Amino acid sequence: MSDAVKPTWPRWALFFAGAAALSAIPFGLAFSHALKGAAMLVAMGVWFVAYMAYVFVGSSRLKAGRIGPAMRRYRRRLAGAMLAYCVALMGSLALLRGGALTGPLLWIVAAAPAIPILGVLVVMGLYLKEEPDEFERAVHVEAMLWGLGVVLALTTVWGFLSNAQVVPAPPLFLVFPLFCLAWGVSQPLIRRRYQ
């Protein structure tokens, strides 16, 4: 039997090109001012769900047969957390828009979108705990360290730049997506080293 692996990078490239095109939609909507207020919020909600569906279905087809039970559970939990995030974010933005909230309620509503994101951290931890394949685990841990390294490097440089008022203060809510991006990008590079 052959152990040759068909090159999958052209299909991955197509997948990422599609994801990049989908990512451009919210910027297009925001800059064109085509939609306003509640319509914009609903459009962003629809876009978010469509984007998630594209990423989950696309990656599961590309990884066909290579998704173990622990990874499947991780992906299901992640999808749930991301949907909860979408709902919490839209609800929070809608409630904050009125500007009528004060005191502890304002704090809770403002921080609500962070709760599902903290859930994602728990989901990541559960995956590492449940993954039976030690090599997979090692790749993920190493990729997380790269994610952490990228986040620390960028935010430290940005922090000093903003101290000197060369650039505005870093948007801290973007630290987590940056970590996820660096984690995801480093994975294929780490795997290549073991081939």
Partner 1 sequence: MKNRLKVLRAERDWSQADLADKLQVSRQTINALETGKYDPSLPLAFRIARLFEQPIEAIFQDEA
Q: Name the site residues for partner 1 (rule: CB under 8 A).
A: 1-3, 66, 68, 132-136, 138, 191, 193-195
| Distance in Å, CB of 135 to partner 1, minimum | 4
DSSP codes of every residue in 31-52: HHT-S-HHHHHHHHHHHHHHHH
Query: Which CB atom, from 138 or from 157, has the smaller least distance to partner 1?
Result: 138
Write down the least CB distance from residue 79 to partner 1, Å.
22
Query: Of 48 and 146, which CB lies nearer to partner 1 in the complex structure?
Result: 146
Closest to partner 1 by CB, 33 or 193: 193
Backbone phi, then psi, for 113, in 5-degree steps? -65, -20
Cβ at position 172, least distance to partner 1 in Å: 35
Closest by CA to 16, choosing from 184, 193, 191, 144, is 184
What value, to the nearest 5°, has the Cα angle with vertex 171 and ends 168 and 173?
Answer: 175
Nearest distance, CB of residue 1 and partner 1, angstroms? 4
